[in-house]
Structure formats: structure tokens, C-alpha cells
Amino acid sequence: MRINSSTGAAGVQNSGGASKGKSKGKASASGGDSVKVSDASSLREKALTMLSDMSAVRMERIEEIRGALEEGSFKSDSRKVASQIVTNALAERSW
């Protein structure tokens, strides 16, 4: 399926194996595209579940950092932060 953004919803084209004009009125049960949309409440519920699974030690550290940020006393090593960002980005990429 291809969606042309310049033509909006009318620009949706099926690029599957079906040819124009030769359809016999039956939809293929095995080759269909699907879209699943989650509402905000289910995403919120998932986030709350993930938060409840976090260890207490990690939550204590988050609160400690939050307090230091509010006081303006938080110090960080910019090289270490940059290195960790790059490391995480490279780990997520499938090479």
C-alpha cells in the first residue's frame, strides 16, 4: 500500500498483487494490510504499568536528580552523556 501525501486520502493505492479490473469481488484473506490505532488511555495505562515495574532504587535516583535540577546544583559530564547517547543510538540500529 502506498499513500501519496500530496493527494491526501484519495491518494491511497494498493500496490499488492491484485490487478485492476480483474477482481472477482473477493478480498484476499491472506494479503491484506492492517492498521491498529491505540487511544491515549491505553498508552497511559501502559506507561503506568512500566513505571510500577521500576525498582525503588531507580525512582530514588530520579527524585534525587529532579531535586538537584530544581535547586540548580545538578552537575553532569557532557562527554559521558554524549557517549551514552551515541552508544544507545548505535545499539538500537539494526546494522
pLDDT at 86 over 90: yes
pTM score of the predicted model: 0.34
Report, in angstroms and rounded to the nearest whole number, the Rg of the chain calculated over CA atoms.
24
Amino acid at 71: E
The string of DSSP codes covering the chain is -EE-TTTGGGGEE--SSPPTT---S---SSS--------HHHHHHHHHHHHHHS-HHHHHHHHHHHHHHHHT-----HHHHHHHHHHHHHHHS--
Instruction: Assess if residue 1 is contained within a domain.
Output: no
In a domain, 13, yes or no: no
Q: Is residue 12 part of a domain?
A: no
pLDDT of residue 87: 93
Counting the structural domains of the chain, the total is 1
Q: Cell match 506507561: residue?
A: 47
Q: How far from the centroid of its chain's Cα atoms is residue 18's Cα?
A: 31
**In a domain? residue 4:** no
In a domain, 27, yes or no: no
- Give the best-scoring range by mean pLDDT among 11-20, 29-38, 40-49: 40-49
Beta carbons of 5 and 11 less than 8 angstroms apart: yes
Name the residue range of residue 72's domain: 41-92
